[in-house]
Amino acid sequence: MGEPNPAAMEFLLTRRSRPAKTLRAPGPGRDEIRTLLTAAARSPDHGKLEPWRFIVLQRGALDRLASLAERRGQALGLDPDQIEKTRRQFADGVVAVAVIEVQKPSQKVPPIEQSYSAGAVCLALLNAALASGWGANWLTSWAAHDREFVREGLGLAENERVAGFIFLGTETVTPPDRPRPDIDAITTWMSD
């Protein structure tokens, strides 16, 4: 057994995402974001495929994506409230990282494992930001799944998709903790 890290365990037992709509400037700078990305890239990656990449979205890009979300939402005939919620997600963002799943051909690593790795990167980035004292939230929304939005807005290829937008900034509100799963209700112990 390795050396216990009580501080890390306490962090994991008490971690809490911060609502993106409550995050304000300042956000992390380029060097701080590089450190967060380095931590996130240490996620499980069966086959060392790196089936993900990062797009750091700063103010101008977030404004452009907010406009694109409004235009695409209208073209798709979405409910105006749904469009506005996604538009505000980008318009109000300080800085965000789009974690892009990049499916790579592999006889050894099935596509679902590559998807799991991209999800692990999202969580690792979120936790790295929170552990560094930043407010952070992992979001997607309909825009993340709209091929036209991700092609035009992020330049994604056909083998790529958004695993998540990780919004980063300064926490202005600490929301109350939410109910957590009943571990006994969702756990089966097998010995034979």
117 annotated among ligand-binding-site residues:
no
17 annotated among ligand-binding-site residues:
yes
170 annotated among ligand-binding-site residues:
no
52 annotated among ligand-binding-site residues:
no
42 annotated among ligand-binding-site residues:
yes
* CB 58, CB 95: distance < 8 Å: yes
Q: Nearest 5°: phi and psi at 118? A: -65, -40
53 annotated among ligand-binding-site residues:
no
161 annotated among ligand-binding-site residues:
no
| Strand-strand pairing, 135-139 and 95-102 | unpaired
What's the rounded Cα separation, in Å, for the pair 154 and 100? 10
Contacts of 28 (CB under 8 A, 6+ apart): 36, 95, 129, 132, 134, 168
147 annotated among ligand-binding-site residues:
no
For residue 168, give the nearest of 141, 139, 143 by alpha carbon. Answer: 139
* Binding residue numbers for FMN: 15-17, 42, 46, 138-140
* Binding residue numbers: 15-17, 42, 46, 138-140
